[in-house]
Amino acid sequence: MISQRHKRDAPITNWPIVGPWFTNTNFIFTSNPMNVHHITSNNFGNNGKGPNYNEIFELTIQKKIENCLIPFLMMHPKLELRWTCKMPFRGSPLTLPAPVFLDIYDPICLPNMFTKLSHFAYQKALIVMEDVAFHRHITPRCLWKLQEWLQIGQEKKFKEAIKAFDKFLHERIASKREEQSRCNNHTKKEDDNTHSDLIRVLMEEGAEKGKIMDDKYLRDTAFTLVSAGSGTVSAGLSWFFWLVSTHPDVETKIFQEIKCEEFGKLVYLHGAICEALRLFPSIPFDHKCTIKSDILLSGHHVSPNTMIFYSLYSMGRMERIWGEDCMEFKPKRWISERGNIIHIPFYKFIPFNAGPRSCLGKDITFIEMKMVAVALLWRFHMQVVEGHPITPRLSITLGTEHGLKVKVTERCI
Ligand code: HEM
C-alpha cells in the first residue's frame, strides 16, 4: 500500500487562478478526465503549448544489457548498491536512450571500463535543464526573464547546461560524419564494424534521398529524443524496482512468469509496469494553452490564452478513476479474466499524455523497461535497504530525492 499522504480522492476538481497582470498568471488546474480528453483530443486544435513554451523548454537494447548491466552487477556479488545521484538509473549502466541513439561509450560498459571518458557530463546537463524548466513553470515569467537577462541564478546554470549538452551532441555528430566518410572509402561493407545509431540512420536516410542532413537537424532530433527519453525511463525504472522490491508477492509472480512465458506474453510484468507509471508517472504534470475561448466538459468557461494544468500524478491516484484500491500497487488490475491486458483510455491512464501530442516513445519504453526488468529480476533479487528515505523529487521528471538504495543478491537458478 502506498502512503495515504499521496492520495488524491477529493472530488474531481477544476481551480481557476488569475494573478496580477504582470505575473502572467491565468491558469486552470483540472483533474477531470473528461476535460483532459477534451483538451488533448476532442478539441486538440484549440490547445497548443502556449507562446512561452519554447522559451520554457529552450531547451540495440539487448547488447547494452548484456555488455553493461549484467557484467556490472556480476562484478559486485552481494552488492549493496546505491545509486546516489538524484535519478538512480541515470548515469548508471541503465541509462539506455543516449547510448542507443547516439552510440556513445559508457565508461562502466565492458570493454570500455578503462577508457577515460566523461560523457556523463551530458546527463548532469540534462538534469539541470529539467530543473530550470520546472522553475520556469512556477516562477512569474518577468522574474525568470530578468534572471536570464542578468545571467544569474538558475538561468546562468541553464545556459551553461545547454552549452555543455550542445557541445556533446556536436562532438557526436562530427564523429559520426568522420565514421561515415571512412565507410564511404571502404569498398567492402563487411569491413564496416561501426554501430548503427540514430545519427547514422538519419544521415543514411538523407544520403539515400540525395540530401545531406545538416548539423542543426541532426542536433535537434537527437536533442528531442535524448531529452524526452532519458530521464523518463530512468525515473520509471527506479519507481518500478522500488515497488517490486517492497512487494515480494509481485516479485515472485513476475519471476514465475519470466520462467514460463515468452517475452511477448509477459502480461503480469506489463501490468506491473503500468502500475508503476500510474502511481509514479515520470512526467508528473502537463499543460495546454487555449487559443480561442472554450467550454470544458465540466462546464467551465476558459478564455483565450489560459494555461490549463493537469496533474498526471493526482489522476493516477484518484478513487473516482481507479476505485477504492487506487493507492495499492496491484498489477492484476490490468489483467482481464481471460488473461489479457485491459485497455484503459489514455485520458484516464495518462502517464504518456493523450491525443495527437501523446508520447512517441511509449512502445520503446515498454520494451526497454521489460528488457531491463527481465534481465535483472531473472538473475538478481533486490532488497530495498531499510531506513533509506524514498521521496519524490519535484522537477519536470519525477525522480527520487535521495536515490534508491538496494541490496542486490544473485539468485540460485
Ligand atoms: C517512462 C517513459 C516515458 C514517459 C512516462 C513519457 C511521457 C511523455 C509525455 C507525458 C509526453 C507529453 C509531453 C508534453 O505534452 O509536452 C511525452 C512526449 C514525448 N515523448 Fe515521451 N515518455 C517516456 C519515454 C519516452 C522515450 C523513451 C522517448 C524516445 C524514444 C520519448 C519521446 C517523446 C517525444 C518525442 C515526445 C514529444 C511528442 C510531441 O510533442 O508530439 N518518450 N512523453
Tell me which DSSP letter residue 196 carries.
P
Q: Is the CB of 97 under 6 A from ligand 1?
A: yes
Q: Ligand 1 centroid to 408 CA: how many Å?
A: 30
Q: In ligand 1, which atom is closest to the CA atom of 288?
A: 15
Percent of the chain having pLDDT more than 70? Answer: 75
Strand order in the sheet with 380-384: 79-83, 404-410, 380-384
Query: What pLDDT was estimated at residue 335?
Result: 96
Instruction: Determine which residue's CA is closest to atom 17 belonging to ligand 1.
Output: 359
Instruction: Determine which residue's CA is closest to atom 30 belonging to ligand 1.
Output: 361
Segment 146-183, tens digit of pLDDT: 999 999 999 999 999 999 888 888 888 888 888 877 77
- Is the pLDDT at 341 greater than 90? The verdict is yes
Q: Is the CB of 364 under 6 A from ligand 1?
A: yes
Query: What pLDDT was estimated at residue 93?
Result: 37
Grid cell digits, residue 295: 467550454
- Is the pLDDT at 269 greater than 60? The verdict is yes
Which residues are bridge partners to 239 per DSSP? none
- The residue to mutate among 100, 201, 227, 232, having the most atoms of ligand 1 within 8 angstroms of its beta carbon, is 232
Q: Once rounded to an integer, what is the mean pLDDT over residues 131-156? A: 90
Average pLDDT, the chain: 79
- Is the pLDDT at 272 greater than 70? The verdict is yes
Give the whole-angstrom CA distance, residue 31 versus residue 276: 19
- Is the pLDDT at 134 greater than 50? The verdict is yes
Instruction: Determine which residue's CA is closest to atom 24 belonging to ligand 1.
Output: 229
Count of CB atoms within 10 A of residue 245's CB? 20
Q: In ligand 1, which atom is closest to the CA atom of 364?
A: 27
Q: In ligand 1, which atom is closest to the CA atom of 357?
A: 41
Report how far apart, in Å, the C-alpha atoms of 55 and of each of 92, 138, 145 are: 30, 14, 10
Q: Which segments are annotated as binding site for heme?
A: 359
Q: In ligand 1, which atom is closest to the CA atom of 350?
A: 10
383 Cβ partners below 8 Å, 6+ apart?
245, 406, 407, 409
- Is the pLDDT at 64 greater than 60? The verdict is yes
Q: Is the CB of 236 under 6 A from ligand 1?
A: yes
Instruction: Determine which residue's CA is closest to atom 6 belonging to ligand 1.
Output: 352
**pLDDT top residue among 374 and 75:** 374
ipTM exceeding cut-off 0.95 for this assembly: yes
39 Cβ partners below 8 Å, 6+ apart?
46, 47, 288, 290, 296, 308, 310
- Is the pLDDT at 101 greater than 80? The verdict is no
Give the whole-angstrom CA distance, residue 378 versus residue 34: 41
Q: Once rounded to an integer, what is the mean pLDDT over residues 360-370? A: 90
Q: Is the CB of 229 under 6 A from ligand 1?
A: yes
Q: In ligand 1, which atom is closest to the CA atom of 281?
A: 5
Query: Is 172 strand, coil or helix?
Result: helix
pTM attached to this predicted model: 0.81
Query: What pLDDT was estimated at residue 190?
Result: 47
- Contact present, 329 and 279 (Cβ < 8 Å): yes
- Is the pLDDT at 410 greater than 70? The verdict is yes
Grid cell digits, residue 231: 530521464
Q: Once rounded to an integer, what is the mean pLDDT over residues 95-101? A: 46
For the chain, helix, strand, coil in percent to 5 are 50, 10, 35
Q: In ligand 1, which atom is closest to the CA atom of 101?
A: 30
The answer to which of 35-39, 307-311, 313-317, 335-339 has the lowest mean pLDDT is 35-39
Give the whole-angstrom CA distance, residue 234 versus residue 305: 34
Which residues are bridge partners to 126 per DSSP? none
Instruction: Determine which residue's CA is closest to atom 27 belonging to ligand 1.
Output: 229
Indicate the pLDDT class of residue 109, thresholds 50, 70 and 90.
Answer: very low
Query: What pLDDT was estimated at residue 76?
Result: 60
- The residue to mutate among 87, 223, 359, having the most atoms of ligand 1 within 8 angstroms of its beta carbon, is 359
Query: What pLDDT was estimated at residue 22?
Result: 63
380 Cβ partners below 8 Å, 6+ apart?
73, 408, 409, 410, 411
Q: Ligand 1 centroid to 259 CA: how many Å?
A: 31
Give the whole-angstrom CA distance, residue 11 versus residue 31: 9
Query: What pLDDT was estimated at residue 209?
Result: 81
**Alpha carbon distance, N-terminus to C-terminus of the chain:** 30
Q: Ligand 1 centroid to 230 CA: how many Å?
A: 10
Residue from 343, 321, 171 nearest 270 by CA: 343
Q: Is the CB of 353 under 6 A from ligand 1?
A: yes
Segment 215-245, tens digit of pLDDT: 888 888 888 888 888 788 888 988 999 999 9
Instruction: Determine which residue's CA is closest to atom 9 belonging to ligand 1.
Output: 352
Q: Is the CB of 352 under 6 A from ligand 1?
A: yes
Please state the CATH superfamily assignment of the domain spanning residues 4-59+62-184+194-410 in this structure: Cytochrome P450 (1.10.630.10)
Residue from 324, 372, 317, 379 nearest 349 by CA: 317
Q: In ligand 1, which atom is closest to the CA atom of 368?
A: 27
Grid cell digits, residue 331: 498489477
